[in-house]
C-alpha cells in the first residue's frame, strides 16, 4: 500500500527558513560598519605621488564643513595606521573637529625621505610632493581650510616636519617636531637615507647658515613663515640632543626673532619650555626640553600642547572664507628716509599699525634697488642683504598695538642707485607710504 506524503506544516517551514537566514543575518550584523563612529580611511589616487606613499584620513564626526588640517607623520618602522592608534591626535580631533592626514611610507625601513636633493626643495619630488598632494586632496574633497594647515611628526616624521616647513612655507601655518633635526641636517648626496653625523648631533652651524638652508628650499619666497615648536629628550641616543639646539637656531633665524628666550617655564617637573619672539601660547618659536627622556616622544599630554600651539584647541569655526592671518590691506603705513654718500647710505624705516587689532610678530618685505647691499641693521633682522629683503622683528618690538609705530634701519653699500624701494608689505599686506 503506497505511503501518503504529508505536507510540511507552517511551523516546520518557518524553522527551516530561520535556520538558513539566521547565519546570514549574523554575518551581516558582524560585518556592517558602524553608522555613527568615525574611522581611519585609506585614500588612493590622491595625486602626484613619486615615492608611492599611502594616504590615510581621519575625519571626526565633529568636523565642520571647513575643517583645519593636521598632517601627522610617523616614525621609522611605523605606518599611518600605527601613528593613528598610538598617538592622541585622533582623540583631539574628535574634541576639536579638525581633519588628520596620516601619510604612510612604503619603502624598506618605513622612514621618510628627508635627505635627498629632491626632498629638500619645493616641488623637487619624493615624499614632500606626495604629502602635498594629500593636503590638496583634502582641500578639494573634504572642504579643508587652506588657511589652517599644520604638520607634526615624531623622529623621521619630525624631520619631515622640518622639511615641509622649509619646502612649503606658504602652505603650513605651523609645525611641531618631536625628536627631529633641522631642515637640511640629514642631507646626503650618495643615495643613503641615513646621516650619522647629523643623527649624532655633530653637525653644528650658525643660525644664519641654518636659516639659509631652510630659505633656500623655496628661493625668492618673501611671505610669512610658519611658526615652529620643537621637543627633545636630553637622553635621546637615536637623534641626539644637540639637534634640539640647532633646530632652535634655525627657526629663530628663519622667523627673525632673538635666540634669547622671551619666556621660560616648567609645565612639568622634568620639562623646560622656552619661547622666542613672544611670550604667549603661539609664540613664533617654542622649545620643550624633557630631562632624562630618550627617543620616546610624544608621551601622554604632549599632543595636546602641540594642538594648543597650533591654535586648534577651540571648537569655534572661522568664517567660510580664507581668513587672513595678517592685518587687512591698508592696516599699515611706512615712512622711509635715506641719507647717502658716494658709495654708501643709511635708511630709516618707520612702520605704523593703522589697523584696529594688535600685530604680534611682523615681517616687512621690500625690494632694494639694484646695486644696494645691506651691511648692517638695527631693530630688526634683515635677510637676504640685497634684492627682495625681509626685515623681521626682534624680541623687544614684536608687538605693535593699534596706532603704535616702530623704527628700524640699516646701512648699505650702493653702486650709484640710491633710490627707495617701490613698495612695502607687512605680513603680506601692502602698506601705505608717507
Residues with active-site annotation? 155
Q: Are 241 and 181 in contact (CB under 8 A)?
A: no
CA distance 185 to 243: 9
CA distance 192 to 162: 19
CA distance 371 to 107: 48
How many CB atoms neighbour CB 37 within 10 A? 9
Q: What is the DSSP code string of 135-165?
A: HHHHHHHS---TT-EEEEEETHHHHHHHHHH
Q: What is the DSSP code string of 9-24?
A: PHHHHHHHHHHHHHHH
Grid coordinates given for 105? 611610507
To which residue does cell 603650513 refer? Answer: 172
**Which residues are registered as beta bridge partners of 391?**
364, 382
CA distance 60 to 231: 27
154 exposed, middle or buried (CB, 10 Å; 0-12, 13-18, 19+)?
A: buried
Nearest to 421 by CA among 391, 399, 377: 391
CA distance 79 to 54: 9
Nearest to 203 by CA among 177, 178, 184: 184
Instruction: Kindly give, in sequence order, each residue whose CB lies less than 8 Å from that of residue 169, ignoring residues fewer than 6 positions away.
Output: 218, 221, 223, 224, 225, 226
Amino acid at each position: 500500500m503506497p505511503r501518503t506524503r504529508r505536507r510540511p506544516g507552517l511551523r516546520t517551514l518557518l524553522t527551516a527558513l530561520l535556520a538558513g537566514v539566521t547565519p546570514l543575518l549574523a554575518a551581516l550584523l558582524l560585518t556592517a560598519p558602524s553608522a555613527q563612529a568615525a574611522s581611519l580611511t585609506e585614500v588612493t589616487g590622491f595625486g602626484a605621488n613619486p615615492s608611492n606613499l599611502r594616504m590615510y584620513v581621519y575625519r571626526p564626526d565633529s568636523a565642520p564643513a571647513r575643517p583645519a588640517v593636521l598632517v601627522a607623520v610617523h616614525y621609522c618602522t611605523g605606518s599611518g595606521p600605527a601613528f593613528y592608534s598610538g598617538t592622541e591626535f585622533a582623540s583631539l580631533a574628535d574634541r576639536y573637529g579638525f581633519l588628520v592626514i596620516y601619510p604612510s611610507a612604503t619603502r624598506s625601513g618605513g622612514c621618510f625621505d628627508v635627505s635627498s636633493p629632491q626632498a629638500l626643495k619645493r616641488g623637487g619630488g619624493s615624499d614632500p610632493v606626495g604629502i602635498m598632494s594629500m593636503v590638496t586632496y583634502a582641500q578639494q574633497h573634504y572642504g579643508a581650510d587652506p588657511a589652517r594647515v599644520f604638520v607634526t611628526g615624531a623622529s623621521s616624521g619630525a624631520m619631515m616636519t622640518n622639511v615641509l616647513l622649509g619646502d612649503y612655507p606658504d602652505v603650513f601655518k605651523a609645525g611641531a617636531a618631536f625628536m627631529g633635526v633641522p631642515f637640511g641636517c640629514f642631507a646626503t648626496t650618495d643615495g643613503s637615507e641615513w646621516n650619522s653625523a647629523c643623527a649624532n648631533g655633530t653637525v653644528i652651524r650658525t643660525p644664519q647658515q641654518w636659516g639659509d638652508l631652510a630659505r633656500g628650499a623655496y628661493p625668492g619666497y618673501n611671505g610669512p613663515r610658519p611658526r615652529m615648536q620643537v621637543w627633545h629628550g636630553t637622553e635621546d641616543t637615536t637623534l641626539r640632543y644637540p639637534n634640539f639646539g640647532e633646530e632652535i637656531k634655525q627657526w629663530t633665524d628663519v622667523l627673525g626673532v632673538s635666540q634669547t628666550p622671551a619666556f621660560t617655564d616648567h609645565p612639568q617637573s622634568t620639562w623646560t619650555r622656552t619661547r622666542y619672539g613672544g611670550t604667549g601660547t603661539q609664540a613664533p618659536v617654542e622649545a620643550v626640553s624633557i630631562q632624562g627622556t630618550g627617543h620616546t616622544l610624544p608621551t601622554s599630554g604632549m599632543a595636546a600642547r602641540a594642538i594648543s600651539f597650533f591654535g586648534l584647541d577651540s571648537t569655534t569655526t572661522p568664517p567660510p572664507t580664507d581668513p587672513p592671518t595678517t592685518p587687512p590691506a591698508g592696516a599699515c603705513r611706512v615712512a622711509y628716509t635715506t641719507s647717502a654718500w658716494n658709495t654708501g647710505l643709511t635708511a630709516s624705516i618707520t612702520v605704523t599699525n593703522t589697523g584696529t587689532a594688535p600685530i604680534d610678530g611682523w615681517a616687512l618685505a621690500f625690494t632694494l634697488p639694484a646695486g644696494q647691499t645691506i651691511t648692517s641693521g638695527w631693530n630688526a633682522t634683515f635677510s637676504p642683504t640685497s634684492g627682495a629683503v625681509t626685515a623681521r622683528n626682534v624680541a623687544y618690538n614684536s608687538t605693535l598695538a593699534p596706532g603704535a609705530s616702530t623704527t628700524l634701519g640699516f646701512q648699505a653699500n650702493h653702486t650709484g642707485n640710491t633710490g627707495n624701494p617701490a613698495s612695502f608689505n607687512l605680513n603680506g599686506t601692502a602698506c601705505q607710504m608717507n
